[in-house]
Amino acid sequence: MNSTVRIRLVIRGAVQGVGFRPFIYRLATELGLKGWVLNSAQGVFIEVEGLPETLQEFVRRVESDKPPRAFIQSLEQSILDPVGYTTFEIRHSEESGEKVALILPDIATCPDCLREIFDPADRRYLYPFTNCTNCGPRYSIIEALPYDRPNTTMKAFTMCPKCREEFENPADRRFHAQPNACPECGPHLELWDEQGHCLAQHHEALLRATEAIREGRIVAVKGLGGFHLMVDARSDSAVRRLRERKRREEKPFALMYPSLQLVQAHCEVNEAEERVLRSPESPIVLLRRKQVEAVASSVAPNNPYLGVMLPYTPLHHLLMHELGFPVVATSGNLSDEPICTDEREALHRLAGIADLFLVHNRPIARHVDDSVVRVLLERELVLRRARGYAPLPVLVKQPVPPLLAVGAHLKNTVALSVGNQVFISQHIGDLETPQALEAFHRVVTNVKELWEHQPQKVACDMHPDYLSTQAAHRMGIPVVPVQHHVAHILSCMAENELEPPVLGISWDGTGYGTDGTIWGGEFLLIRKGSWQRFAHLHAFRLPGGDRAIKEPRRSALGVLCECYGEQAFQTLQSVFTEQELTALSQMLRRGINAPITTSAGRLFDAVASLVGLRQVVNYEGQAAMELEFRLHGITSDESYPFAVEQTSSDAPVVVDWRPMLPELLQDAASGVPVGCISARFHNTLVEMMVAVAKRAGVECVALSGGCFQNAYLTARAVQRLREEGFRPYWHQRVPPNDGGIALGQIVAASVFG
């Protein structure tokens, strides 16, 4: 197999007029790479083709060997199929296409600013709002365009003569740095008690906040795009108190570490992971922990990974420098609500959760959560796209009419298309609470205003009950409903620049199907201008409908019932009470409140329950994750039997998992380790994908949906599909979960709508 690939880099920052293009030319030529470099209003675009190792070296050296005056604010990397370049050239700037103002995401503190805040001789010594043209707040302070100080939340601060001089001097690092500030003229810190009384100001406030954290107290810290709740991650009692108060039982907490060295001491960090940790985006990176005792066990119970980030604002650098140990840094909210952004509101919403409030007087224009990234197959896989990434556009090949997409229900984001750019909003969250719905409406209004664009149509999910769907219908413009799993696949195709025909494997927990049943184990054939449900997993009933999401044992009951009928009820006697079992068996017998589903996510749940791993979950996807965690250290190519059948030539192919069940139950009963059963189960799912891909006979296979957050499943699917001669694609910059649905809806509305 020819392993040449193409990478596209979009680099934004101080890279224009500093000899950047000649540098790229020399580097590419030296490494023997083919492609081009182009300067445009949107940034510097680079495409290079070559072997993956050489390309990796190229990317590394773009960062390490760049010209002295160049500064990279964001570096987006996509790995694509090669197109066969034969030379490397400097292309001339394109001025074609719609001009769209570029709004930069917030950028982590640059090395120059970092040096200043720790230099006692500098006038910005210990100043937590230090920034320059290369770093600092952007998206979180912009109220309107153009990006000038009066249009930001810095408008209330008048620059002092020294700051003004920097701002006006073209030779200065702070020339036209809109949020420029110093201790004389900029925002300042205050420490508040629960009533909002000021206890201390300036650096004293920060020192007293760190004291409180050291004592095990919970401090709400107003950061860049919202509040964090911080506690000492080493203190089990402090972390447990936070869990109780926040009403978050087991969902892992993110951590902020004082240094990369300490992260490396506690977690395994490979080169790609290190790059992401230190990047201008500075997201939370999922890392495998080395030692379980590094932090309190209540930080991430039963989880071999830690979600880790490094300080990304001067405030965080100063705090973490003072503390010297990792802290929990979780969103300042009650579980499921959007992150809190205003200090007065925080006093009210975080009352009873935080003991103290470390706040400042620079308003936050919009909430921007921390992004979450996992490195998979040596590439970035964004699981939550917010700070550092939003609102950078995803470029699509063909210009798209002005459309708005409102996303799905969980992990909601919205998107707006302008020309061939699709702007995906920051993560909004699950539309479960009135606060989340309010945030959704705010973001929708906001994206239309920011880009001054009136969409002609609105794309939404096909599910009639989603609040996002209902909101779309009230907008007064034509509505294009898009099937959920089609949206998943189109978003993966857009990101990877795939042309039909493509076989899309769209696996997740829940999505509304065109036949009114719940889909979730779908194989979709995408052709030019149309799509077809080529195959799906064998369907089963979910007793109690949505309640099954919280109780994997209900999926287990549905699955067993599908195999063994009435006998199933006896098998699960131990995990239900007698009354529960009577009620559920009634539902299943009569088919009332027991919707039909083909969901792969629920099949994961069923298996987790059947092997005794988990009967009830505390958060979405927990059972499937725990099943994945058990795989660690197990290498197995074994799988269970399954069947592929088709009843008539125009009906979808059905992948029947029922033949798997007797062996799986036998394994569980005879004490085969859960990890081995899990490996066989995962391998079986991958073999199902291979079998369907062979039937479909389409070379390109796109993997999308929440199940592909699972690293083992994705990596093995990619490996096996490649072995069988297929070309598999997965997500990179856009989440495989429902956070990517809005992008897919835009594409669907433009090609099918």
Residues forming the site for Zn ion (CB under 5 A): 110, 113, 132, 134-135, 160, 163, 182, 184-185
Q: Which of 398, 349, 389, 344 is nearest to 369 (CA)?
A: 389
Q: Minimum Å distance from CB 715 to Fe ion? A: 20
Q: What share of the chain is helix, strand, coil (3-state, %, to 5)?
A: 35, 25, 40
- 163 or 328: whose CB is closer to Zn ion? 163
Residues lying near Fe ion in the complex (CB under 5 A) are found at 508, 738
- 190 or 628: whose CB is closer to Fe ion? 628
Cα-based torsion angle of the residue sequence 223, 228, 229, 233 in order, rounded to the nearest 10 degrees = -100
Q: Minimum Å distance from CB 71 to Zn ion? A: 8
Which residue in the shown chain puts its C-beta closest to Fe ion? 508
- As given in the structure block, the two tokens for residue 369 are 């959560």
- Contact between 227 and 359 (Cβ < 8 Å): no
The option from Zn ion, Fe ion, none interacting with 135 (CB < 5 to 8 A, set by class) reads: Zn ion
Q: Minimum Å distance from CB 514 to Fe ion? A: 15
Q: Minimum Å distance from CB 430 to Fe ion? A: 12
Q: What CA–CA distances, in Å, run from 369 to 93, 243, 359, 393, 509?
A: 34, 19, 17, 18, 24
- 336 or 699: whose CB is closer to Fe ion? 336
- 37 or 372: whose CB is closer to Fe ion? 372
Q: Minimum Å distance from CB 145 to Zn ion? A: 22
The option from Zn ion, Fe ion, none interacting with 182 (CB < 5 to 8 A, set by class) reads: Zn ion
- The C-alpha atoms of residue 137 and residue 363 are separated, in whole angstroms, by 11
Q: Minimum Å distance from CB 166 to Zn ion? A: 8
* Cβ contacts of 518 within 8 Å, gap of 6 or more: 510, 511, 512, 542, 595, 596, 597, 598, 599
The option from Fe ion, Zn ion, none interacting with 134 (CB < 5 to 8 A, set by class) reads: Zn ion
Residue 248 sits at the vertex; the CA angle it makes with 277 and 346, to the nearest 5 degrees, is 80
Count of helices and strands (H, E) across the chain: 23, 30
Burial of 19 (0-12, 13-18, 19+ CB in 10 A): middle
The option from Zn ion, Fe ion, none interacting with 7 (CB < 5 to 8 A, set by class) reads: none
- The C-alpha atoms of residue 8 and residue 77 are separated, in whole angstroms, by 6
The option from Fe ion, Zn ion, none interacting with 76 (CB < 5 to 8 A, set by class) reads: none
- 347 or 748: whose CB is closer to Fe ion? 748
Q: Minimum Å distance from CB 170 to Zn ion? A: 17
- 687 or 738: whose CB is closer to Fe ion? 738
The option from Fe ion, Zn ion, none interacting with 113 (CB < 5 to 8 A, set by class) reads: Zn ion
The option from Fe ion, Zn ion, none interacting with 110 (CB < 5 to 8 A, set by class) reads: Zn ion
The one-letter amino acid at 420: N
- 488 or 733: whose CB is closer to Fe ion? 488
Q: Minimum Å distance from CB 507 to Fe ion? A: 9
Torsion angles phi and psi, residue 133, rounded to 5: -60, -20
Question: Quick one: three-class SS letters along 706-742?
Answer: HHHHCHHHHHHHHHHHHHCCCEEECCCCCCCCHHHHH
Q: Is there a cis peptide before residue 68, judged by omega within 30 degrees of 0?
A: no
- Sheet bearing 327-331, strands edge to edge: 198-201, 189-192, 356-360, 219-222, 227-232, 327-331, 254-256, 305-309, 284-288, 372-376, 379-384
- 7 or 489: whose CB is closer to Fe ion? 489
The option from Zn ion, Fe ion, none interacting with 738 (CB < 5 to 8 A, set by class) reads: Fe ion
The option from Fe ion, Zn ion, none interacting with 690 (CB < 5 to 8 A, set by class) reads: none
- 164 or 397: whose CB is closer to Zn ion? 164
Q: Minimum Å distance from CB 742 to Fe ion? A: 12
